[in-house]
């Protein structure tokens, strides 16, 4: 008996460049295709590659550098641990118990979305590994995580539409129908975590905004999942009382949420300097450049990288990623101040550059250097 050619055909690999986190197929594709680090070659080994082999190697290195991260800095590690603690604590609660939520607030460019996506993808993979890819009793695919990015000034209907769109469910019907459909899909697909990003787009001063806040609060009552709300300026970490918080969502859920906030890097104290150094050591360890060397970032470029990035992780990663791409293209195969000075990054980092350079020149701040090769600080592992 011959086998159908269609059955022998391998499923096509998804194009991860266009995969969208806000659609279940895109989220699944990104979560189930971990980043693979290319092999580290020496300059002589790189030179020995054929033209086609070198082109393939360079392509893989560019893709790796473009998607590398997140770097588990102490602040991001603490934030990740808090998300895990709240999620795991609510996992076995019965249906008559409300699960607590996490609210993450940080200025732009510090990697809060990258952190949350990394945690959500890990939970997605862990749950599917434990319970399988499909729920037989519901005849539905197992979708443990839902990721939503808020539109500008969303209405309750827009929020429910976003949840339905994630599941590829119909968007027709009135608000009640959409709400019921969103709830049914979350329940039948055994979702345990819902991430709502860009929550700051809810304008509590408008009727739509107030209705949306009430709607989100009701969703936390109706759905047996852990909610993670992510945004900018959602709360003041120094204000202890609900009435002193910034966003109305935070005030209404004062007893139901756990705060996570973090800031950019600083170089004023020895602890801050060590955290910056450890981050750069991790980066230089995992870069795939043939002529890199120990201390390339952590010693030779530490102050320069801080001035260029303002201590913001997104700006730092943009500079490293673009610089690495240029180092590969030009054949320099290492990062230097001369090469990075030709790389442009975001406007805000460039605007603050002169101020940080002045502080570094005046000795007000400064990066830590290795005292001796034998006393290198421990490099944190990358998840």
SS3 readout for the chain: CCCCHHHHCCCCCCCCCCCCCCCHHHHHHHHCCCCCCCCCCCHHHHHHCCHHHHHHHHHHHHHHHHHCCCCCCHHHHHHHHHHHHHHHHHCCCCCCCCCCEEEEECCCCCCHHHHHHHHHHHHHHHHHHHHCCEECCCCEECCCEEEEECCCCCCHHHHHHHHHHHCCCCCCCCHHHHHHHHHHHHHHCCCCEEEEECHHHCCCCCHHHHHHHHHHHHHHHHCCCEEEEEECCCCCCCCCCHHHCCCHHHHHCCCCEEEEECCCCCCCCHHHHHHHHHHHHHHHHHCCCCCCCCCCCCCCCHHHHHHHHCCCHHHHHHHHHHHHHHHHHHCCCCCCHHHHCCCCCCHHHHHHHHHHHHHHHHCCCCCCCCCCHHHCCCCCCCC
Q: Is there a cis peptide before residue 70, judged by omega within 30 degrees of 0?
A: yes
Mean pLDDT of 24-37: 96
Q: Is residue 292 part of a domain?
A: yes
Residue 301 forms part of a structural domain: yes
Q: Which of 203, 232, 261 delimits the end of a domain?
A: 261
pLDDT for the residue 372: 40
The band of 9, judged by pLDDT with boundaries at 50, 70 and 90, is very low
- Does the structure show a pLDDT above 80 at 238? no
Q: Is 293 exposed, middle or buried, given 0-12, 13-18 or 19+ CB atoms closer than 10 A? A: exposed
Assess whether 86 and 62 both reside in one domain. no
CA–CA dist 66, 289 (Å, integer): 14
Across the range 190-200, mean pLDDT stands at: 96
Residues 49 and 78 in one domain: no
Q: Which residues of 160-196 are buried (b: 16+ CB within 10 A; e: fewer)?
A: bbbbbbbbebeeeeeeeebbebbeebbebbbbbbbbb
Q: What is the pLDDT of residue 239?
A: 60
Instruction: Say which residue, 97 or 156, is predicted with more confidence.
Output: 156
- 338 and 222 within one domain: no
Is 296 within 8 Å of 335 (Cβ atoms)?
yes
10 inside domain: no
pLDDT band at 377 (very low <50, low <70, confident <90, very high): very low
Residue 185 and residue 162 share a domain: yes
Residue 1 lies in a domain: no
Tell me how far CA of residue 171 lies from CA of 167, 182, 213, 218, in angstroms.
11, 10, 21, 20
| pLDDT at site 21 | 97
Better-scored residue on pLDDT, 3 or 333 = 333
User: For position 307, what pLDDT does the model report?
Assistant: 94
For range 159-167, the mean pLDDT: 97
Domain count of the fold of the chain: 2
* Mean pLDDT over the full length of the chain: 88
For residues 293 and 271, is the Cβ–Cβ distance under 8 A? no
| Residue-level pLDDT at 360 | 85
- The residue with greater pLDDT, 135 or 368, is 135
- Is the same domain home to 87 and 208? yes
Q: For residue 104, what pLDDT band results from cuts at 50, 70 and 90? A: very high
Measure the CA–CA gap between 364 and 373, rounded to whole angstroms.
26
Q: Which two tokens stand for residue 218?
A: 């009701």
- Structural domain contains residue 12: no
Bridge-based pairing of strands 145-149 and 226-231 is unpaired
Structure confidence at residue 73 (pLDDT)? 83
| Statement to judge: residues 57 and 84 lie in one domain | no
Residue 24 lies in a domain: yes
Q: Which region among 68-82, 164-178, 215-229 has the lowest average model confidence (pLDDT)?
A: 68-82
* Higher-pLDDT residue of 243, 159: 159
> Which residue shows structure tokens 């309750």?
156
One domain, residues 103 and 194:
yes
Asked if residue 239 is part of any domain, the answer here is yes
- Domain-embedded: residue 377: no
Out of 215, 246, 261, a domain closes at 261
Based on the fold, state whether residues 307 and 256 are members of the same structural domain: no
- Which CATH number fits the domain that encloses residue 175? 3.40.50.300
Return d(Cα 310, Cα 313) in angstroms, integer: 9
pTM of the model: 0.88
Range of the domain at 240: 74-261
Domain final residue, candidates 261, 280, 300 = 261
Place of tokens 């082109």: 55
pLDDT at 237 over 90: no
- Given pLDDT bands bounded at 50, 70 and 90, which one contains residue 343? very high
For residues 29 and 106, membership in a common domain is answered with no
pLDDT score of 254 more than 80: no
- Can you tell me the distance from the alpha carbon of 176 to that of 170, in angstroms, rounded to the nearest whole number? 13
Alpha-carbon gap, residue 368 to 373, rounded angstroms? 14
Residues 79 and 65 in one domain: no
pLDDT band of residue 10 (cuts 50, 70, 90) is very low
One domain for residues 210 and 81:
yes
- Whether 321 and 217 share a structural domain: no
Could you tell me if 265 and 366 are in contact, meaning their C-beta atoms sit under 8 angstroms apart? no
């Amino acid at each position: 008996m011959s086998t159908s050619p269609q059955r022998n055909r391998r499923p096509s690999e998804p194009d991860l460049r266009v995969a969208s986190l806000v659609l279940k197929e895109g989220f699944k594709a990104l979560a189930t295709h971990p980043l693979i680090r290319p092999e580290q070659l020496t300059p002589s080994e790189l030179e020995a590659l054929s033209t086609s082999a070198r082109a393939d190697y360079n392509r893989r290195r560019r893709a790796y550098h473009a998607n590398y991260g997140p770097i588990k800095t102490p602040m991001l590690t603490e934030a990740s641990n808090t998300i895990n603690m709240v999620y795991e604590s609510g996992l076995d609660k019965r249906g008559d118990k409300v699960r607590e939520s996490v609210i993450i607030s940080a200025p732009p460019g510090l990697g809060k979305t990258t952190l949350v996506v990394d945690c959500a993808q890990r939970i997605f993979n862990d749950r599917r590994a434990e319970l399988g890819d499909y729920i037989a009793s519901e005849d539905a695919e197992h979708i443990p995580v839902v990721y939503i990015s808020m539109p500008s000034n969303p209405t309750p209907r827009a929020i429910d539409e976003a949840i339905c769109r994630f599941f590829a469910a119909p968007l027709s019907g009135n608000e009640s129908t959409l709400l019921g459909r969103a709830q049914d899909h979350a329940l039948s697909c055994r979702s345990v975590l819902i991430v709502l990003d860009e929550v700051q787009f809810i304008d509590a001063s408008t009727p739509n905004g107030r209705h949306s806040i009430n709607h989100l609060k009701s969703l936390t009552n109706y759905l047996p999942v852990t909610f993670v709300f992510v945004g900018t300026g959602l709360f003041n970490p120094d204000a202890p009382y609900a009435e002193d918080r910034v966003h109305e969502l935070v005030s209404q859920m004062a007893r139901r949420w756990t705060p996570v906030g973090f800031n950019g890097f600083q170089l004023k104290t020895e602890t801050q300097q060590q955290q910056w150094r450890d981050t750069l050591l991790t980066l230089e360890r995992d870069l795939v450049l043939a002529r890199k060397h120990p201390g390339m970032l952590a010693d030779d470029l530490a102050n320069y990288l801080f001035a260029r990035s303002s201590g913001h992780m997104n700006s730092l990663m943009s500079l490293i990623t673009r610089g690495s791409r240029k180092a590969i293209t030009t054949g320099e195969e290492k990062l230097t101040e001369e090469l990075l000075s030709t790389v442009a990054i975001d406007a805000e980092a460039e605007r603050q550059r002169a101020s940080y350079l002045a502080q570094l020149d005046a000795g007000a701040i400064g990066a830590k250097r290795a005292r001796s090769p034998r006393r290198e600080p421990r490099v944190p592992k990358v998840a």
